[in-house]
C-alpha cells in the first residue's frame, strides 16, 4: 500500500525533520481515525497517545463537530473579518471565549490560524499596548529556557531551545531567556521546589533590574512547558512570577496553546496555578484539530489602553485572511460544547493522575527512564544515559524513536522528542486506555534490554 506514495513522499518536507534523502525511519501514513484511535494505511489500529499534536482533545471523528462544520459550509464557508466586516460565528466565538475567561477579565479576542500566529499576535500587540500606554521604550521580551512558542520570527526568538534557532541566523533582538523552574535539571542542582522558585524569581528580578524595567514589554511562558519536555513548575512559581510582573509593570503572556482548554486538568493552565495573565495565546484544543484556528485574548487593561489610544494608536494593523474563519469558528464552538459538556478538564485531571501514577514504576525498573513527570494529560518520560548524573541520552542515537517504534507495535502511538517520550492523548482517554499506554511502554522498554 505504501509503495503507491513512495514517489509522492519525496515531494514534500516533513516539518521538524531532516530533509536528507532516506530519512524515513519513522514512516507512518495515517489513513483514518475514530475516537481515541488512528489507523494507518496498512490497516494497523493504534491508540493515539499523541492526540494528533497535543490538539485532538475531544477525540477524532466526532459527529457533533462534523455536523457543525457541514452546516457552516452550507451557510457561509468563508468570509473575512477586516475593516468592520463580520459574520455570526465570529461573534459567537468571541462571546464564548470572553465569558469562559471572565474570571481572568478577558475582554477582547484577535483570531488567527494557529499557535504561532497567536504568539506573534501577542508579542506585537504587547508592544502596541506600551505605545498606547505612553511607554514606547518597552519593547523587550523575557521568556524561559526550554520554552516553545511556535516558529514565526518572534516566537522563535522568545523560544528557549537552540535547535529552533540554529538554522535561521539573526532573530529578533531584545529577547532574554531565563532558567526554567525545572526540578529535574537546573543550574543550581536544586531539588527543593520552594528554593528553586526563589532562585528563579531572584534571577528574574536581577535580569529586570539589569535591563531596566522600563525597557521590558512582556514576559511570555507556557504554564507547563510542553515541547521542551513537559516541565511542570513548582506550585507557587506562577504566582510569584505574576507578582514580579506586577511590581515592575510587565505584561504577563501565558502561551496556553497546549495547556488551554483542559490539558493540564484545568480549563487554563494559568488558572490551575491561580494566576490571571494579561494576554492568552490559544490554538490547538480550541478547535481540536478539526480546522486550524488560533486566538489571542486580551484582558481589560490591555484592551482599554489600545482602544482608548489617540490617533493611529488604536488601529489594529495586524490580522490574517483567515482571522475568524467562519467554518473554523463553527468547529471551535462545537468542540467547546463537548469540552464543557463532558467536563474534559476534569477527565484529564483524573485519568492523567492515574496514568502518571501507573507510569512511575518505569523509572524504578528501567535505567534509561530518569523521570516520569506531567500534569493532567501531558506527560513525559525523560530518558537518561546515566541516572545518577541525569545526563540525557544522546538524541541523535535514535533510542527514543526505537522505544516509540516498539510501543507502536504494541498498538500505541507515542511521540519521541529528543531525549523524551511525550504523551498527550485526547482528553477523552479512559482509565483502561491509560493502562494500554503503560503496558505498551513497559513492553517497549523491556525490548530495549
Instruction: Write out the residues near ligand PLP by the rule CB under 6 A.
Output: 114-116, 119, 148-150, 222, 226-227, 255, 257-258, 283
CB-based contacts of 113, cutoff 8 Å, min separation 6: 292, 293, 294, 320, 322, 323, 325, 328
d(CA 291, CA 2): 26
- 8 Å CB contact between 142 and 219: yes
Is the Cβ of residue 251 or residue 305 nearer to ligand PLP in the bound state? 251
Could you write out the DSSP letters of every residue in 319-380?
--TTTT-HHHHHHHHHHHHHHHHTTHHHHHHHHHHHHHHHHHHHHHH-TTEEEEEEETTEEE
**Residue 226 Cβ vs ligand PLP, minimum distance, rounded to whole Å:** 5
Please, what is the minimum distance in Å from the beta carbon of residue 353 to ligand PLP?
22
> Within 10 Å of residue 304's Cβ, how many Cβ atoms?
14
Residue 68 or residue 221: which is nearer to ligand PLP going by CB?
Answer: 221
Closer to ligand PLP by CB, 226 or 425: give it: 226
Helix axes 115-132, 300-307, angle to 10 degrees: 60
Pick the closer one to ligand PLP by CB: 121 or 399: 121
Shortest separation between residue 121's beta carbon and ligand PLP, angstroms: 11
In the complex, the smallest distance separating the C-beta of residue 283 from ligand PLP, rounded to whole angstroms, is 5
Q: How many CB atoms lie within 10 A of CB 417?
A: 18
Nearest distance from C-beta of residue 335 to ligand PLP, angstroms: 15
For residues 408, 414, 419 and 424, what is the CA-based torsion angle, rounded to 10 degrees? 180
Q: Which is nearer to ligand PLP, 122 or 303 (CB)?
A: 122
Nearest to 222 by CA among 119, 295, 107, 141: 119
CA distance 334 to 350: 23
- Name the minimum Å distance from CB 94 to ligand PLP: 20
Closer Cβ to ligand PLP, 90 or 254, answer by number: 254
**Nearer Cβ to ligand PLP, position 115 or 265?**
115
Q: Is the CB of 37 or the CB of 148 nearer to ligand PLP?
A: 148
| Min CB(1)–ligand PLP separation in Å | 29
For residue 179, the minimal CB distance to ligand PLP (Å) is: 18
At 299 the three-state DSSP class reads strand
251 contacts 279 by C-beta, under 8 angstroms? yes
Which residue has the closest beta carbon to ligand PLP?
115
Nearer to ligand PLP, 261 or 366 (CB): 261
> Least distance in Å: CB of 378 to ligand PLP?
10
Which cell goes with 256?
A: 496556553
Instruction: Please give the DSSP secondary-structure letter assigned to residue 268.
Output: S
Residue 15 CB coordination number (10 Å):
7
Across-strand partners of 108? 298
Amino acid at each position: 500500500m505504501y509503495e503507491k506514495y513512495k514517489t509522492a513522499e519525496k515531494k514534500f518536507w516533513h516539518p521538524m525533520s531532516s530533509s536528507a534523502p532516506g530519512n524515513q525511519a519513522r514512516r507512518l501514513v495515517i489513513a483514518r481515525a475514530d475516537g481515541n484511535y488512528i489507523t494507518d494505511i496498512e490497516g494497523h489500529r493504534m491508540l493515539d497517545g499523541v492526540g494528533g499534536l497535543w490538539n485532538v482533545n475531544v477525540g477524532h471523528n466526532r459527529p457533533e463537530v462534523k455536523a457543525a462544520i457541514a452546516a457552516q459550509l452550507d451557510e457561509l464557508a468563508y468570509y473575512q473579518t477586516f475593516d468592520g466586516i463580520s459574520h455570526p460565528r465570529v461573534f459567537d466565538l468571541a462571546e464564548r471565549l470572553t465569558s469562559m475567561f471572565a474570571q481572568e477579565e478577558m475582554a477582547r479576542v484577535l483570531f488567527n490560524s494557529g499557535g504561532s500566529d497567536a504568539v506573534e499576535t501577542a508579542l506585537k500587540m504587547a508592544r502596541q499596548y506600551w505605545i498606547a500606554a505612553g511607554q514606547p521604550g518597552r519593547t523587550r521580551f523575557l521568556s524561559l529556557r526550554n520554552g516553545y512558542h511556535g516558529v514565526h520570527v518572534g516566537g522563535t526568538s522568545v523560544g528557549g531551545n537552540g535547535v529552533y534557532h540554529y538554522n535561521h541566523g539573526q532573530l529578533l533582538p531584545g529577547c532574554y531567556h531565563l532558567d526554567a523552574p525545572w526540578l529535574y535539571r537546573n543550574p543550581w542542582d536544586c531539588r527543593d521546589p520552594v528554593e528553586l522558585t526563589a532562585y528563579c524569581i531572584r534571577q528574574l528580578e536581577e535580569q529586570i533590574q539589569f535591563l531596566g524595567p522600563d525597557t521590558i514589554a512582556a514576559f511570555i511562558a507556557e504554564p507547563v512547558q510542553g515541547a521542551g519536555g513537559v516541565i511542570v513548575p513548582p506550585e507557587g512559581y506562577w504566582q510569584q512570577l505574576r507578582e514580579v510582573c506586577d511590581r515592575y509593570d510587565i505584561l504577563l503572556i501565558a502561551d496556553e496553546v497546549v495547556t488551554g482548554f483542559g490539558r493540564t486538568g484545568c480549563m487554563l493552565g494559568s488558572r490551575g496555578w491561580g494566576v490571571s495573565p494579561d494576554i492568552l495565546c490559544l490554538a490547538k484544543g480550541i478547535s481540536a484539530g478539526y480546522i486550524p484556528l488560533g486566538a489571542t485574548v486580551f484582558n481589560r487593561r490591555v484592551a482599554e489602553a489600545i482602544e482608548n489610544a489617540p490617533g493611529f494608536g488604536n488601529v489594529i494593523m495586524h490580522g490574517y485572511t483567515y482571522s475568524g474563519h467562519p467554518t473554523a469558528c463553527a468547529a471551535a464552538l462545537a468542540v467547546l460544547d463537548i469540552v464543557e459538556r463532558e467536563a474534559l478538564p476534569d477527565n484529564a485531571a483524573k485519568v492523567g493522575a492515574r496514568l502518571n501514577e501507573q507510569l512511575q514504576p518505569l523509572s524504578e525498573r528501567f535505567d534509561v527512564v530518569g523521570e516520569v513527570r506531567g500534569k493532567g494529560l501531558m506527560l513525559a518520560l525523560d530518558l537518561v544515559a546515566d541516572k545518577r548524573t541525569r545526563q540525557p541520552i544522546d538524541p541523535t542515537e535514535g533510542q527514543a524513536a526505537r522505544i516509540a517504534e516498539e510501543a507502536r507495535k504494541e498498538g500505541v502511538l507515542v511521540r519521541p522528542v529528543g531525549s523524551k517520550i511525550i504523551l498527550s492523548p485526547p482528553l477523552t482517554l479512559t482509565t483502561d486506555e491509560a493502562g494500554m499506554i503503560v503496558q505498551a511502554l513497559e513492553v517497549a522498554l523491556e525490548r530495549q534490554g
